Amino acid sequence: MNAFRYAQARDAASAMAALAADPRACYIAGGTNVVDLMKEGVERPSLLVDITQLPLRGIDRTATGVRVGALALMSDVADHPAIARDYPVVAQALLASASPQLRNMATIGGNLMQRTRCAYFRDVSQHCNKRAPGTGCAAISGVNRRHAVVGGSEQCICTHASDLAVALLSVDAIVHVRGRAGERTIPLERFHVLPGSTPQRETVLERGDLITAVELPASAAARNSYYLKVRDRASYEFALVSVAAALNVAGGRIRAARVALGGVAPTPWRAHAAEAALLGRPATGGTFAAAAEAATRGMKGYGQNDFKVVLVRRAVNRALQHVGAIA
């Protein structure tokens, strides 16, 4: 690990100023991602700004839903009664993430900012356009079983590793950010950006921006939601494919639908075509099968990950049957 300077921030303004002043400075909260990447030499900050003392830990009910502080721990959010009751998909995704130890360390804001688990990204001896722009993507013709089947580019086909972000996408979460121009809100769907020709850029955040909270609007669909994670072993593993499904069914018809996917794209992936195939239709097996087929539209593997396209169809179908209560 490279040597670095350390500062503990007492307020957001001084933390942001420290980042603005040093182009190689970096925030640290739970540290589960940045410390790991520093050991690999992928991250080499000159200064770590410890933000854990900032008052951003609360999980509070609001008039329109729940506001989760950026520094709330994954384990605390998963255990919060309002989350378990009104956003089961979020609690389930959190409990399917990492390990109990890591969930006691990692924060909600940090989870959204985590880097990909692509082995080429994590190995500084390999070509990777995200880590070292212009060096090429070793995954496209390499070991790509875990890589993207949609949303990638000739520059990068990594997958986003977060379960939480997929679940949050299915409940229309909104990210609260403090930046140089003050507070602003960003719908989670517009928070992460696809690699295109700039895979090193992963979110719309600007340097020094600080996530302060994630807002979860209450809805009937969010209350009837479910997270399905398919992986190589039963626990403590990243998703091959995951599905966050939220449905509001009234009078046998689907009034609202959200389908989001993990493990398939460089960002958490919203399956709009699947949602369109659900909205207004009867909540039947036939509708769910058609939506599952629609979810795979435009997906294409790179050889070793071709199976993911089939897995998406089956996992979406299963998740919809579960949340549509016909399983």
Question: Which among 31-39, 161-169, 275-283, 295-303 is the span making contact with other proteins, rule CB under 8 A?
Answer: 31-39
**Binding-site member from 26, 82, 102, 220 for other proteins (CB under 8 A):** 102
| Residues 6 or more apart whose Cβ sits within 8 Å of residue 50 | 6, 7, 8, 9, 28, 29
| Residues 6 or more apart whose Cβ sits within 8 Å of residue 186 | 174, 175, 177, 204
210 touches other proteins by CB under 8 A: no
**Binding-site member from 17, 140, 220, 290 for other proteins (CB under 8 A):** 17
Measured from the CB atom, the residue of 46 and 64 that comes closer to other proteins is 46
105 touches other proteins by CB under 8 A: yes
31 touches other proteins by CB under 8 A: yes
Angstrom distance (rounded) from CA 249 to CA 325:
10
| Residues 6 or more apart whose Cβ sits within 8 Å of residue 15 | 9, 27, 49, 51, 54, 210
Question: Which among 10-18, 80-88, 157-165, 195-203 is the span making contact with other proteins, rule CB under 8 A?
Answer: 10-18
**Binding-site member from 5, 85, 184, 190 for other proteins (CB under 8 A):** 5
Measured from the CB atom, the residue of 24 and 61 that comes closer to other proteins is 24
C-beta separation of 104 from 73 below 8 A: yes
114-75-231 Cα angle (round to 5): 60
User: Binding to other proteins (CB under 8 A): which residues in 32-61?
Assistant: 32, 35-36, 38-40, 46-50, 52
**Binding-site member from 9, 78, 239, 277 for other proteins (CB under 8 A):** 9
Question: Which among 25-33, 146-154, 167-175, 286-294 is the span making contact with other proteins, rule CB under 8 A?
Answer: 25-33
**Binding-site member from 26, 41, 104, 306 for other proteins (CB under 8 A):** 104
Measured from the CB atom, the residue of 17 and 143 that comes closer to other proteins is 17
1 touches other proteins by CB under 8 A: yes
Site size toward other proteins (CB under 8 A) is: 43
**Binding-site member from 62, 64, 141, 235 for other proteins (CB under 8 A):** 235
Please give the structure tokens belonging to residue 294: 């629609």
Phi, psi of 322, rounded to the nearest 5 degrees: -65, -50
**Binding-site member from 60, 62, 85, 100 for other proteins (CB under 8 A):** 100
At closest approach, how far in Å is the CB of 190 from other proteins?
28
Which among 266, 238, 262 is positioned nearest to 102, based on CA atoms? 238
Angstrom distance (rounded) from CA 11 to CA 8:
9
Q: Which amino acid is at 189?
A: E
207 touches other proteins by CB under 8 A: no
Measured from the CB atom, the residue of 69 and 110 that comes closer to other proteins is 110
305-229-80 Cα angle (round to 5): 150
Residues that bind other proteins in the complex, under the rule CB under 8 A: 1-9, 13-18, 20-22, 28, 31-32, 35-36, 38-40, 46-50, 52, 75, 98-102, 104-105, 234-236
